[in-house]
Amino acid sequence: MEKENKAKEGIKGWINPAKYGKFGIERFAWILMRITGLGLLAYFIGHIYETSHILDGKAVWDASLELTQTTEGHIFLALVIGMCVFHTGNGIRLMLGQMGYGLGKPGRPDYPYKPQSLNMKGKACIYATIGLAALAMWYGMAVMFG
Amino acid sequence: MMLMRESIVMKIHYGTAIGAVFLTVIHILMRMTQDFHESLEYENVIANYEMIGYAIMLELLLILISVHGFNGLRIILLEMKQGPSYEKAVTYGCIASMAILIAYGSRTIIMTSMGMT
């Protein structure tokens, strides 16, 4: 059996700044999708553990809730909101892309070989998603600090 | 290592994503029915769990996010490295972690909704 090729760069490939300059905002969205996904999974596991304290009575529940009722806790939750909105928005863009929407028509591959799929519609969606995430974080902060 | 065709897995990934977004919105809106801090008070949270419809929704949300989250983790880990034994370990590890998290979360939902606090 032929030896399978490995993605040799691994996590180094994620954080290599040269890739961002070369591939632009799409690369940034790619890495942010993975970072927010991992962040949200970590938050979800913590949330399940935190909410299980309800079984230990009011005193334990109040004590665990106090962790998020601080300024740092509110900032952390605002970050979670931002991650959630970006992951959702970018996920919808990717799903639509996989269904063939917004990819443009296939064209002859002429120099400088710009792929039709990485077009302005996609870029605008990524910027809009980042903007929406920032707005949601701001609203979340207003609710939590208000 | 293949338990299921990858195209089917991706359909499940997208389906769970759409379902999770919809239910998360409802979950957050429940916090907005009253003051945010008040809604998190012990008595209010217990009252939320005791609403059977809401408890079922939380259970569904737990399953959808767990499936989506651990499949996402599996995809990320398989993007980084490939190989038969590695892929097997990642797939079974993610399935086991998902099952443990669902079981742990379900315990909270079931016990609280039945008044076993």
Give me the domains of chain A, ranges plus CATH numbers: 15-103+115-145 (1.20.1300.10)
Q: Band of the pLDDT at A107, cuts 50, 70, 90?
A: confident
| Helix (H) / strand (E) containing A37 | helix A17-51
- Provide mean pLDDT across the span A102-129: 84
Domain count, chain B: 1
Percent of chain A with pLDDT over 90: 55
- Dihedral through CA A91, CA A96, CA A99, CA A103, nearest 10? -120
Q: Does the CB of A43 have a partner CB in chain B at under 8 Å? A: no
What letter represents residue A68's amino acid? T
Which domain covers residue B47, as residue numbers? 6-113
In angstroms, the CA A89 to CA A68 distance is: 26
Residues in A closer than 8 angstroms to B65, CB to CB, are 44
Say yes or no for a CB contact (<8 Å) between B69 and A44: yes
Q: What is the pLDDT of residue A46?
A: 96
CB–CB contact B42 A10 (8 Å): no
In a domain, B1, yes or no: no
Cβ–Cβ under 8 Å, residues B19 and B60: yes
Residue B34 forms contact with A (CB below 8 Å): no
* Range from B34-38, B44-48, B73-77 carrying the lowest mean pLDDT: B34-38
**d(CA A70, nearest CA chain B) in Å:** 12
* Per-residue pLDDT at B112: 95
Is B2 in the A-facing interface, judged by CB distances under 8 Å? no
Residue B17 lies in a domain: yes
Closest CB to A88 among B21, B69, B80: B21
Dihedral sign (CA A108, A111, A114, A115): positive
- Residue B111: CB atoms within 10 Å: 15
Mean pLDDT of chain A: 87
Distance CA B101, CA B108 (A): 11
User: Rounded to an integer, what distance in angstroms lies between the CA atom of residue B20 and that of residue A40?
Assistant: 13
Domain containing residue B11: CATH number: 1.20.1300.10
Q: Which of B32-36, B68-72, B73-77 has the lowest mean pLDDT?
A: B32-36
Q: Please calculate the CA angle B89-A5-A98 and round it to the nearest 5 degrees.
A: 80
Inter-chain Cβ pairs, chain A and chain B, closer than 8 A: 68
Q: Is residue B97 situated within a structural domain?
A: yes
A3 touches chain B (CB under 8 A): no
CB-based contact (8 Å) between A135 and chain B?
no
Angle at A41 between CA A36 and CA A45, to 5 degrees: 145
**What residues of chain B lie within 8 A of the CB of A7, using their CB?**
79-82
Ramachandran region, residue A24 (left: φ > 0; alpha: ψ -120 to 50; beta: rest): left
DSSP state of A4: P
Residue B63 located in a structural domain: yes
pLDDT value for A124: 93
**3-state SS assignment for residue B38:** helix
B61 Cα distance to chain centroid: 5
A44-100, pLDDT tens digit by residue?
999 999 999 999 999 999 999 888 889 999 999 999 999 999 999 999 999 999 888
